[in-house]
């Protein structure tokens, strides 16, 4: 069977880790030499990985990040030690008094420095953890709000298509009018300096409502998450315009994407 | 700006990975911030134990740090790899399998149906997956979830549900077909 492509069901079960014994070994052998099945398996794994997103949202404790960063810090290549300064050839005559007290003073100073540094470090760590705990709570609240919006039965998805031939790209808006909640994700052309993409809710009556400026990644992924918009607005369409950096209260630039 | 929401430049996974390869810890922390919630939520759903989920989370990201140079964003999805890798680790824990029993997961062997580099993109994919899962019949959903979140083989699912093995296979096959058609 290693020369024959496995049937789709076998690849599905393999991706799930639910294939057993000889069947599993045969699929493994086949995958080692078949690029087409390897690609199909990658897509199946991706679909299954998407299921992980349905897990109830939870945010890890801030100390996990600190522990992880400490772990990788130990892995980081050691910074070469600075060359020690050559001692001066001139030596000073040290009195017997200095011979006794100078080392003791150095020891006391070192101990004092050690405790001061330890205290500072502890204080810094406590402050980092305190800030991280606040951030964790905010994140959890945010993702719960997102999750509630996404799972709400009255949330709609609207596809946006390119509105101009010279502006390629497309995206999706998910919108819950009752909650006044909205998110956009899509692809957009690179932004020129001094420009921004602005998202608009076009209501059934009245003027377009500004719904945030897109965050744009280097790879051209644009997004807006939960902008501040009024609740209870029945939409006619959603649109993105090209505006001066900072945005405008009403659209002035060309429409680059739109969908209804 | 009159509209709420800040426009800011967001580093892509690829740009952050390039810096991680050069041992940039800030870039690694940014990737952790981007995906730790997804990875942890998945691990917690499987293990139902915060301590175990934290270990899975940390081990998964540590592995990503160690093999950063093998990731190629043009071929595979970092987020997908993190999720599959964490799922496999978590399943190993609840099934008391050695992690060595898991297949070695190539860094570029997971292609997510869409980019999930932003919170908005993650939410939109979640909404799509949720909508598709609702299309599945209850037995189909149960079979797929037992396999994915409990790590059961089809024989074990048949035993658990009391259904014939062939029925379980059919349910998983049809559920996977619906998921793939809708998401890919």
Cα nearest neighbour of B88 on chain A:
A17
Rounded-to-integer distance, Cα A17 and Cα B101, Å: 11
CB A3 within 8 A of CB B138: no
Q: Is residue A175 part of a domain?
A: yes
Hey, which of A46-55, A79-88, A137-146 has the most confident mean pLDDT?
A46-55
Rounded-to-integer distance, Cα A98 and Cα A106, Å: 11
B7/A245 Cβ within 8 A = yes
Q: How many domains in chain A?
A: 2
A77/B23 Cβ within 8 A = yes
The pLDDT value given to residue B102: 55
Question: What DSSP character marks residue A53?
Answer: G
pLDDT < 50 stretches in chain B = 1-7, 100
CB A211 within 8 A of CB B120: no
Q: Is residue A193 part of a domain?
A: yes
Q: Is residue A115 part of a domain?
A: no
Q: Name the minimum distance, in Å, from the CA of A239 to any CA of chain B.
A: 14
Q: Is residue A110 part of a domain?
A: no
The pLDDT value given to residue B127: 82
The pLDDT value given to residue B73: 77
Pairing verdict, β A156-162 and A255-259: antiparallel
A198/B12 Cβ within 8 A = no
Chain B residues inside the 8 Å CB shell of A27: none
Alpha helices in B48-184 (DSSP H): 50-66, 78-94, 119-135, 138-149, 154-161, 165-183
Cα nearest neighbour of B33 on chain A:
A65
Q: Please determine, for residue A100, whether its predicted confidence score (pLDDT) is greater than 70.
A: no
The pLDDT value given to residue A45: 92
Strand spans (E) along chain A: 156-162, 170-176, 181-187, 195-203, 209-213, 215-217, 221-225, 235-244, 255-259
B112/A60 Cβ within 8 A = no
ipTM summary value: 0.88
- Burial class of residue A33 (count of CB atoms within 10 Å of its CB; 0-12, 13-18, 19+): exposed
pLDDT tens digits, one per residue of B66-111: 999 998 877 888 999 999 999 999 998 998 765 545 556 777 778 8
Q: Name the minimum distance, in Å, from the CA of A221 to any CA of chain B.
A: 8
pLDDT tens digits, one per residue of A144-168: 778 788 888 888 889 999 988 888 8
CB A71 within 8 A of CB B62: yes
**Considering CB atoms only, which of B45, B57, B124 is closest to A185?**
B124
Q: Is residue A109 part of a domain?
A: no
Q: Which residues pair with B130 in a beta bridge?
A: none
Q: Please determine, for residue A213, whether its predicted confidence score (pLDDT) is greater than 60.
A: yes
Q: Which helix (H) or strand (E) holds A4?
A: none
The pLDDT value given to residue B104: 66
Sketch out chain B's domains with CATH numbers: 13-113 (1.10.1740.10)
The pLDDT value given to residue B115: 81
- Chain B interface, mutation test: which of A17, A35, A143, A249, most B Cβ atoms within 10 Å? A17
Q: Is residue A136 part of a domain?
A: no
Is any Cβ of chain B less than 8 angstroms from the Cβ of A52? yes
Can you tell me the mean pLDDT for A59-74? Answer: 92
Q: Is residue A36 part of a domain?
A: yes
The pLDDT value given to residue A119: 82
Q: Please determine, for residue A108, whether its predicted confidence score (pLDDT) is greater than 90.
A: no
Give the domain range for residue A235. 156-259
Q: Is residue A68 part of a domain?
A: no
pLDDT tens digits, one per residue of A166-208: 888 899 999 999 989 999 988 899 888 899 999 999 999 999 9
Rounded-to-integer distance, Cα A137 and Cα A143, Å: 10
Q: Domain of A192: which CATH number?
A: 2.60.40
- Chain A interface, mutation test: which of B7, B97, B114, most A Cβ atoms within 10 Å? B7
């Amino acid at each position: 069977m290693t020369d024959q492509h496995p049937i789709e069901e076998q690849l599905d079960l393999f991706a799930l880790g639910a294939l057993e014994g000889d069947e599993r070994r045969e699929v493994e052998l086949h995958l080692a030499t078949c690029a087409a099945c390897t690609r199909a398996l990658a897509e199946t794994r991706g679909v299954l990985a998407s299921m992980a997103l349905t897990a109830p949202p939870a945010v890890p404790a801030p100390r996990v990040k600190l522990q992880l960063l400490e772990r990788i810090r130990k892995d980081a290549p050691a910074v070469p030690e600075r060359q020690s300064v050559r001692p001066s050839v001139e030596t000073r005559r040290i009195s017997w008094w200095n011979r006794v007290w100078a080392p003791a003073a150095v020891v006391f100073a070192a101990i004092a420095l050690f405790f001061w540094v330890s205290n500072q470090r502890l204080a810094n760590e406590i402050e980092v953890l305190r800030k991280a705990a606040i951030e964790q709570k905010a994140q959890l609240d945010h993702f719960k709000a997102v999750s509630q919006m996404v799972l709400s039965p009255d949330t709609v998805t609207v596809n946006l298509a390119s509105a101009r031939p010279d502006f390629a790209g497309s995206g999706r808006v998910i919108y819950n009018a009752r909650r006044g909640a909205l998110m956009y994700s899509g692809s957009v052309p690179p932004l020129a300096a001094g420009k921004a993409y602005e998202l608009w809710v076009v209501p059934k009556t009245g003027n377009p409502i500004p719904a945030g400026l897109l965050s744009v990644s280097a790879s051209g992924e644009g997004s807006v998450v939960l902008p501040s918009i009024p609740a209870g607005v029945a939409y006619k369409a959603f649109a993105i315009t090209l505006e001066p950096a900072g945005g405008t209260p009403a659209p002035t630039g060309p429409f680059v994407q739109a969908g209804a | 700006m009159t509209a709420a929401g800040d426009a800011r430049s967001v580093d892509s996974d690829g740009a952050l990975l390039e810096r991680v390869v050069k041992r940039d810890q800030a870039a690694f922390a940014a990737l952790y911030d981007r995906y730790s919630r997804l990875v942890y939520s998945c691990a917690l759903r499987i293990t139902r134990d915060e301590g175990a989920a934290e270990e899975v989370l940390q081990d998964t990201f540590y592995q990503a740090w160690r093999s950063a140079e093998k990731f190629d964003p043009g071929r595979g999805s970092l987020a997908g790899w993190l999720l599959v890798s964490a799922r496999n680790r978590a399943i190993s824990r609840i099934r008391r399998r050695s992690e060595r029993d898991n297949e070695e997961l190539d860094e570029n062997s997971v292609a997510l149906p869409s980019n999930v580099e932003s919170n908005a993109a993650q939410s939109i994919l979640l909404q799509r997956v949720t909508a598709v899962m609702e299309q599945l019949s209850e037995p189909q959903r149960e079979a797929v979830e037992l396999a994915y979140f409990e790590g059961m083989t089809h024989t074990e699912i048949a035993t658990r549900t009391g259904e014939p093995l062939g029925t379980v296979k059919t349910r998983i096959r049809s559920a996977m077909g619906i998921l793939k058609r809708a998401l890919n």
